[in-house]
């Protein structure tokens, strides 16, 4: 998928979908929450129309981010970053001019001192896994810094389970 020239926009139903299908979404995320000290997981999908749709175990976090324009200053949602299909700590992805605001909305407000984003391609669409923990000890930091494969597997599982909802939302 070539997205270097594209403008990413929130899906028209993004804010509503964060809280819709709550029982289905919670059931999927509850399967992985707690593993490896993970307390938050969100899966964001960028469709062929360059629209971003997200499901989250902490929907208030994404709601607060996408209800403002702050998400535009989080490199997690910029093609130059997610096209690399790599991973980065949340702090490394905040633009300098909006660092404090993004840190507050994503981390301080929800008490997530550890956060990472991981990007992948699934069926020629970009997928972003956002994962965070309440833990701030050195062991948790080390795990988050060196066990990306475990987090990709968690994200892949959740994506597989949530893909029917992503596709349903995209067709409405």
Whole-structure pTM value: 0.92
Q: Is 15 a domain residue?
A: no
Here the CATH number for the domain that contains residue 52 is 3.30.450.80
Q: What range defines the domain where residue 64 resides?
A: 38-161
Number of domains in the chain: 1
Give pLDDT, residue 7: 85
Q: Is 170 a domain residue?
A: no
Q: Is 63 a domain residue?
A: yes
Per-residue pLDDT of the chain (172 residues; tens, 9 = 90+): 443 457 899 999 999 999 988 889 999 999 999 999 999 999 999 988 899 999 999 999 999 999 998 999 999 999 999 999 999 999 999 999 999 999 999 999 999 999 999 999 987 889 999 999 999 888 888 888 888 999 999 999 999 999 999 988 877 6
Give pLDDT, residue 3: 38
Q: Is 157 a domain residue?
A: yes
DSSP string, the chain: ---TT---EE-TTHHHHTTTTHHHHHHHHHTTTTGGG--EEEEEEE-TTSEEEEEESSHHHHHHHHTSSGGGGBGGGSHHHHTT--EEEHHHHB-GGGHHHHHIIIIITTT-SEEEEEEEEETTEEEEEEEEES--SHHHHHHHHH-HHHHHHHHHHHHHHHHHHHHHHHH-
Q: Is 54 a domain residue?
A: yes
Q: Is 59 a domain residue?
A: yes
Q: Is 125 a domain residue?
A: yes
Give pLDDT, residue 169: 81
Dihedrals phi, psi of 147, to nearest 5 degrees: -120, 50
Give pLDDT, residue 172: 61
């Amino acid at each position: 998928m070539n997205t270097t020239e594209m403008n990413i926009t929130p899906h028209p139903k993004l804010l509503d979908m964060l809280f819709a299908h709550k029982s289905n979404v919670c059931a999927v995320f509850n399967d992985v929450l707690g593993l490896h000290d993970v307390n938050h997981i969100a899966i964001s999908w960028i469709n062929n129309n360059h629209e971003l749709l997200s499901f989250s175990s902490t929907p208030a976090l994404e709601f607060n981010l996408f209800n403002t324009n702050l998400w535009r200053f989080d490199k997690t949602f910029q093609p130059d970053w997610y096209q690399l299909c790599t991973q980065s700590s949340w702090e490394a992805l905040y633009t300098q001019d909006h660092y404090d605001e993004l840190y507050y909305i994503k981390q301080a407000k929800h008490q997530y001192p550890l956060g990472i984003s991981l990007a992948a391609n699934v069926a020629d669409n970009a997928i972003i896994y956002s994962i965070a923990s309440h833990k701030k000890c050195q062991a948790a930091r080390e795990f988050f810094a060196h066990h990306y494969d475990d987090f990709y597997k968690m994200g892949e599982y959740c994506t597989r389970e949530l893909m029917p909802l992503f596709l349903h939302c995209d067709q409405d």
